[in-house]
Amino acid sequence: MQQDDLLEIRGLRTSFQTEEGPVPAVHGVDLTIRRGETLAVVGESGCGKSVTALSILRLIPSPPGRIEAGQIIFEGRDLLRLSEEEMRRIRGNEIAMIFQEPMTSLNPVFTVGDQIAEVFMFHRGMSRRDALEQAVEMLRHVGIPAPERRVREYPHQMSGGMRQRVMIAMALACHPKLLIADEPTTALDVTIQAQILDLMRRLKEELGMAILLITHDLGVVAEMAERVVVMYAGRVVEEGDVYSIFRNPVHPYTEGLLRSIPRLDEDRERLPAIEGTVPSPGQLPRGCPFHPRCPYATDTCREVEPRLEPLGEGRYAACHLAAERLTGEGVV
């Protein structure tokens, strides 16, 4: 690991047991998160984004899930080798997570104050009274009005945006070094989305933490992230800084994602779409997993699976045509 690296994933492989046998959901993923940066992970539903995040915290349900191979190095410690007790001390304290749907992530039978206070009681050893006082401060910190009253309310008494702010308050209670945000603006209207993203950006600067942002929204990526990792069929297919990838995507899948973004300066009757569908994880095609949908596929692509190779200046791509495509003019 480099000195400024906070977390490094090496060769992560996570699978789920099915009637047909184990099916890999994440296959040989490598990625690095640096201190204080926002790294976005993007891709279609089912590409392995959330499974990668849950693997970091060892929250894969077992059975049927299982982390089969790899290393997850966090500040010099391999999280996959720690005991469950040691992992409980890290979850919510050094690494925290905002889950995708706050209505199902919050416990409906406890007040939001009790749920935030539990974090302080477990990780800081506070009394319930002191923890509830801290819960009020956290609600105030994330912009919830009248926090003294809201702390006694239940999740169903709050709007979606308010519940998401409660989730952020819980995640940031112990000032974690890494925040994993899994689709933090899903199911929120655009006004509330902007408020949540502004809140995350402000809190990141105040606390100096790193963010692993999982999303399918490339607009959010452009606004929030410094670097981006593109996943397809459980694999990383491209990585680089946001500006370079948006200006000149190397992998055809990344190009397809960017072409599908609506643009005001173009008169299109239909948005361009990536042909075909994502393959089943248990029935991946031979060679490059993307080749049946790729307009540039060659015989080599159909026979040999490409490795994620460095292209210089922090760019990586898993594509046999990467070197020649890197000199292209880009699509955005």
pLDDT by residue, tens only, the chain of 332 residues: 566 889 999 999 999 988 888 888 999 999 999 999 999 999 888 888 999 999 999 999 888 889 999 999 999 999 999 999 999 999 989 999 988 776 678 899 999 999 999 999 999 899 999 999 999 999 998 888 999 999 999 999 998 888 888 988 888 888 899 999 998 877 677 888 888 888 888 889 888 899 999 998 888 899 899 999 999 999 999 999 999 999 999 999 999 999 887 776 666 667 778 888 888 888 889 999 999 999 999 999 999 999 999 998 889 999 999 988 876 544 44
CB 172 within 8 A of CB 207: yes
Single out the residue of 45, 37, 18, 35 nearest to residue 217, CA to CA: 45
Instruction: From the options 3.40.50.2000, 3.40.190.10, 3.40.50.300, 3.40.50.2300, give the CATH code of 5-225.
Output: 3.40.50.300
Residues belonging to the chain: 332
Helix (H) or strand (E) holding 13: strand 5-18
Structure tokens, 11: 């060769």
Two tokens, residue 40: 């976005």
Domain boundaries, the chain: 5-225, 231-325
Whether the model pTM is above 0.85: yes
CA 175 – CA 121 distance, rounded (Å): 15
Q: How far is CA 11 from the centre of its chain?
A: 17
Sign of CA dihedral 142, 144, 148, 151: negative
